[in-house]
């Protein structure tokens, strides 16, 4: 469980939070879960879909395409990485693993993904990416990311 302010975010809350924060994912959620337009995403038993949902509803269709642009949509990226920060902070090992492998590690697939993501990385997510860059000895980031 994770907290934002006084609210506690469970794994089952992630899908609802995704659609609220990043409406660009709504049509994908509706399609996957066979929802009617404006029907609320499921809030039970979705923790089993977490890994597939992160990669299939956020990373591949929304986040990575946004990071490819020479002039990325700063509002979209701020919302995407804000969502990632919120579900990462205070999360258990399983959710942190899903975020690491299904979102953060994907930033290494192409140089523009990483370079365009860096300005939006904050807190524990930035620290995790910095550690990942050092561990994988990514050229130019052998010492991780600079502090903010």
- Phi then psi for 37, rounded to 5 degrees? -60, 130
- What 113-116 contacts at long range (C-beta under 8 Å, 24+ apart), as own/partner pairs, is 113/64, 113/67, 113/68, 114/138, 114/141, 116/67, 116/68, 116/69, 116/72, 116/77
Q: Give residue 148's pLDDT.
A: 84
- Separation of alpha carbons 88 and 54, rounded Å: 12
**33-67 pLDDT tens trace:** 999 988 999 999 898 999 999 999 999 999 999 99
Q: What tens digit of pLDDT does each residue of 98-132 get?
A: 999 999 999 999 999 999 999 999 999 999 999 99
pLDDT of 6 > 60? The answer is: no
Say yes or no to pLDDT of 3 above 80: no
Output DSSP code: residue 40.
Answer: P
Summarize the confidence of residues 79-98 as an average pLDDT: 95
93 or 147: whose pLDDT is higher?
93
- Residue spans of the domains in the chain: they are 2-120
Helix (H, G, I), strand (E, B) or coil at 124: helix
Q: Which residues of 77-97 are buried (b: 16+ CB within 10 A; e: fewer)?
A: bebbbebbbbbbeebeeebbe
Nearest to 74 by CA among 29, 141, 82: 82
The per-residue pLDDT of the chain, averaged, comes to 94
pLDDT of 1 above 80: no
Contact 105, 126 (CB under 8 A): no
Mean per-residue pLDDT for 74-90?
96
> How many of the other CB atoms lie within 10 Å of CB of 109?
12
Greater confidence (9 vs 63) lies with 63
């Amino acid at each position: 469980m994770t907290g934002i302010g006084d609210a506690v975010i469970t794994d089952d809350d992630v899908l609802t939070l995704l659609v609220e924060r990043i409406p660009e994912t709504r049509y994908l959620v509706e399609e996957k879960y066979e929802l009617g337009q404006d029907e609320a995403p499921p809030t039970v038993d979705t923790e089993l879909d977490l890994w597939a949902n992160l990669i299939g509803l956020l990373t591949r269709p929304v986040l990575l395409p946004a990071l490819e642009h020479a002039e990325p949509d700063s509002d979209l990226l701020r919302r995407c990485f804000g969502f990632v920060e919120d579900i990462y902070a205070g999360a258990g090992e399983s959710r942190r693993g899903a975020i690491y492998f299904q979102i953060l590690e994907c930033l290494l697939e192409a140089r523009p993904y990483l370079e365009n993501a860096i300005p939006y990385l904050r807190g524990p997510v930035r620290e995790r990416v910095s550690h990942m860059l050092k561990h994988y000895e990514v050229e130019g980031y052998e010492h991780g990311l600079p502090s903010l």
